[in-house]
A and B are shown apart, each in its own frame.
Chain A
Amino acid sequence: MPDFLDFMERAVTGPIVSEHDFYMKTLIPSIRRLLDDFDIKYDPTSPLPWDDNLADRLFEAAIELLAATGVYCDGTNRIISMDREEIKEALEGLPEGRTFGEGSERRLFVSRKPGDSRPPWCHVGTGIVASSEDIATAEVEGYGRIPEANSISIPALNRVRGMPVIGGSPLEIHATINSVQAGRRALWRCGRPGLPILNLISSATTAVATIAGTHPTFGLRPSDGWLIDVIAEMKVNFETLNRLAFVLITGGNVGSAALPILGGYGGGPAGTALLMAAYYLVGILLFRAVYHLTGPIHFNHGCSTTRGCLWVFSVVGRATSRNTRFPAIGLGYSAAGPCTRMYFYETAAVNLCCVTSGYGGVQTVHPARAVIEDGVTPLEALFNVETAYAATGMEPERANELVDRLLEKYEKDIENAPPGKRYQECYDMGTKAPLEEYVRLYGETKEELAKMGIPFGR
């Protein structure tokens, strides 16, 4: 199997092509052809499909897609090619999972199968921006208090001494280091110092900041995970490859991240699902990742809780969990924000789809499209864990019915979803506990969903 430097060689010697031609003459036609060849069609009547044959066809089509297109390197305008044999060899060579964390928090993160009776890996928290280290610390402490949390995400910081962080500047290096320190400090405070951080490093968008923030003095460990993403559909640049080179050479756990846009270059749900499945293969082969983070985002609504996005989550989860041992985390973005009933509905829908379709893990659904500063609270993280456990082992037919009923409740409101509240508005800043109004809303909604048939607290 080619190693990272073999791919770098292809990045500087592969076929040269303009970005326009890569998309118009290679990627878009390949997706259209493969959707026809493998008969992959979106069915809006079933947001959570459980057709194994469709799932397997999708996976085969994803292999064909990557073999047909390769990955576009923006730094050289060349294609990094990969062939079927390399892809299949990489799939066969996948380990059974990867261990993360330290001490009593050390755990093996493995892939699951559709209908798996084991609960998913619960990746708790979000990479949403926090306004200050104090807020970031309070949020992470809250995540750490959730016993089922297997790993956490730390918030990004967008200010240093009051100055807005500018990507690629010294301020980004400061913000990166501060965010990691705040996260680790919070985990000490809540008595779970060994809990792994799997979104390293949320404040770092450039390779230089990733490298700066990785210094062990700031509390990072080889048992954490470094998340590295593609920059656009099937495209990487030298920043991506620089970060990869550094983490691979220093022995860190690479997590490949890809959040394809539904309505973008992949087209509708079927094409987006094909792209999303192909990204697993990019992660395994090019990124040499040991875990994957993924989910579709709707081009118009900016969230991943539309009917089409839920279909994509479900069919890709089933396709990849049936055909690989690559542990992947499903990540959803809700339209509504914290302290709203709609957020809970959307979260339940995402987790029913992801857990029953076989994702190895689920991450806390990011509220309100992740655009509101401090727009995240630990109570969402708790609700995510509870719905993930409730969905474990559920029959897909039943889960599909429930998702349909949840969509009836929120689908019409996606366009004008309530933004919700900031951490400071629904948590007591002294005790770091949710305010009464929020607790009441959470309790009432859980009761409503339990009556609908979601078996909380099993």
Chain B
Amino acid sequence: MEKQEIMENLARGVVDGDPEACRQNAREALREGIDPLDAVEQGLSGGMGVVGDRFERGEVYLPELLMAADAFNAAMEILRPEMEAQNKELAKIGTVLLGTVKGDVHNIGKNIVATVLETRGFSVVDMGVDIPSLGFIEEAKKVKADVIALSSLMTTSMPAQREVIETLKEMNLRDRYLVIVGGGPVSKEWADQIGADGYGKSAVEAVQIIKGLLATRG
């Protein structure tokens, strides 16, 4: 099978959200001697990009994104050991640590943001829900995050977004991380008021803002 055809199959498996096809295509790529990094960057990531574009145009929704991500990860189970054996790493766009703040257990919006970020090639560390402020900061240090993204779905949990920013300041770490906020009751005005670096009204906007902030920071 031609390299080009294998790459197209890898991408198609992701677009179709078909984990089994992705595993088979990943094995085929390695059998044919394709560089595992190329298989990811030119094959799987292309498929994720297609799904991400369709999501931004409103043609597909969260289920298609999640299925694409599952298919991508299925192929990575095959490709990652080979990449490690060859000491190869994916080019890093940026690492985003995200979670829903303390006192809040809502997660759909956060999950959408995480999945859209993954389709755009970001390394995403999703801490889940009800995360204490210090928890975000300790994890950000551990994973060397570029961005901390804080979700809040209730007016009573919004102050916890401010708390993360204030704690970063108290620990002299504010300049180390970009902080963006989002969630149902959160507004641009609130983001400005608490000194966040950005606010995303929707998942698509959040991703655009993160890209823009990282580009500005350089």
Q: Taking beta carbons and an 8 Å cutoff, which residues of A are in contact with B?
A: 23-24, 28, 31-32, 74, 129, 156, 158, 164-168, 172, 175, 203, 205-206, 231-233, 237, 239, 261, 263-268, 271, 299-302, 369-372
- Contact between B156 and A369 (Cβ–Cβ < 8 Å)? no
Q: Does chain A have a CB within 8 A of B86?
A: no
7 inter-chain pairs at a CB distance below 8 angstroms, sorted by A residue, are A24-B67, A28-B63, A31-B63, A232-B106, A267-B63, A267-B64, A371-B186
Using CB atoms, name the residue of chain B closest to A175.
B156
Q: What is the chain B residue whose CB lies nearest that of A27?
A: B63
Query: B61 contacts which chain A residues (CB < 8 A)?
Result: 263-264, 266-268, 271, 299
> B105 and A299: CB pair below 8 A?
no
CA distance A264 to B105 in the complex (A): 16
**Which residues of A have CB within 8 Å of B204?**
300
Asked if A165 and B156 make an inter-chain contact with CB atoms under 8 angstroms apart, the answer reads yes
Which single residue of chain A is at the shortest CB-CB distance from B204? A300
Whole-angstrom CA separation of A265 from B157 in the bound complex: 23
Contact indicator B62/A166 (Cβ below 8 Å): no
Given contacts A165-B155, A166-B103, A271-B63, 8 further A-B contacts (CB under 8 A): A23-B66, A158-B156, A164-B159, A167-B156, A205-B157, A239-B105, A267-B63, A268-B61
B106 to chain A: which residues have CB within 8 Å?
231-232
Q: Quick check: is B218 within 8 A (CB to CB) of the other chain?
A: no
Query: B208 at interface (Cβ–Cβ under 8 A)?
Result: no
Q: Are the C-beta atoms of B62 and A265 separated by less than 8 Å?
A: yes
The verdict on B146 contacting chain A, using a C-beta distance below 8 Å, is no
The chain B residues found within 8 Å of chain A, CB to CB, are 58, 61-64, 66-67, 70, 103-109, 112, 154-160, 162, 184-187, 201-204
Known: A129-B185, A371-B186, A372-B187. A165 touches B62 (CB 8 A): no
Bound Cα distance from A65 to B104, whole angstroms = 27
A315 to B76, CA, bound (A): 41
Residues of B within 8 A of A167 (CB): 103-104, 154, 156-157
B63 and A172 within 8 A (CB): no
A23 — nearest CB in chain B belongs to which residue? B66
Whether A299 touches B185, Cβ cut-off 8 Å, given contacts A24-B67, A263-B62, is no
**Within the assembled complex, what's the spacing in Å between the Cα atoms of A23 and B109?**
15
Top 10 nearest A-B pairs by Cβ distance?
A: A167-B156, A167-B103, A164-B159, A267-B61, A263-B61, A300-B202, A28-B63, A158-B155, A264-B108, A267-B63
Residues from chain A with Cβ under 8 Å of B58 in the complex: 263, 300
Inside 8 A of A205's CB, which chain B residues have their CB?
103, 154, 156-157
Instruction: Say yes or no: B105 contacts A74, CB within 8 Å.
Output: yes
Complex alpha-carbon distance, A231 and B154, angstroms: 11
Q: Which residue of B lies closest to A203 (CB)?
A: B156
Cβ of B103: which chain A residues have Cβ within 8 Å of it? 166-168, 205-206
Contact partners of A264 in chain B: CB under 8 A: 61-62, 108, 112
CB distance from B153 to the nearest CB of A (A): 9
- The CA of A23 and the CA of B61, in the complex, are separated in Å by 14
- Of the candidates A237, A271, A370, A371, the one having the most CB atoms from chain B within 10 angstroms of its own CB is A371
A231 contacts across to B, CB distance below 8 A: 105-106
Given that A74-B105, A232-B108 are known contacts, is A24 also in contact with B66, CB under 8 Å in the complex?
yes
Residues of A within 8 A of B160 (CB): 166
Whole-angstrom CA separation of A23 from B154 in the bound complex = 23
- CB-based contact A129/B155 at 8 Å: yes
Q: Are B203 and A299 in contact (CB under 8 A)?
A: yes
Closest to A172 in B: B156
Distance of A237 Cα from B129 Cα, bound (Å): 12
Taking a contact as CB atoms under 8 Å apart, the answer to whether B202 and A301 are in contact is yes
Q: State the CA gap A256–B149 with chains docked (Å).
A: 31
Are A371 and B184 neighbours in the complex by a CB distance under 8 Å?
Answer: yes
In the bound complex, how far is the Cα of B159 from the Cα of A90, in angstroms?
A: 41
**Distance A91 CA – B203 CA, assembled complex (angstroms):** 38
Which residue, of B66, B105, B155, has the highest number of chain A Cβ atoms within 10 A?
B155
In the complex, the chain A residue whose C-beta lies closest to that of B160 is A166
Find out whether the CB atom of A261 lies under 8 angstroms from the CB atom of B108: yes
Establish whether residues B62 and A156, one from each chain, have CB atoms under 8 Å apart when the complex forms. no
Give chain A nearest CB distance to B70 CB in angstroms: 6
Determine the distance from Cα of A265 to Cα of B64 in the docked complex, in whole angstroms. 9
A302 to B109, CA, bound (A): 10
The smallest C-beta distance from B119 to any residue of chain A, in angstroms, reads: 15
CB nearest neighbor in B for A204: B156
Given contacts A264-B108, A371-B186, contact A166 B156 (CB under 8 A): yes
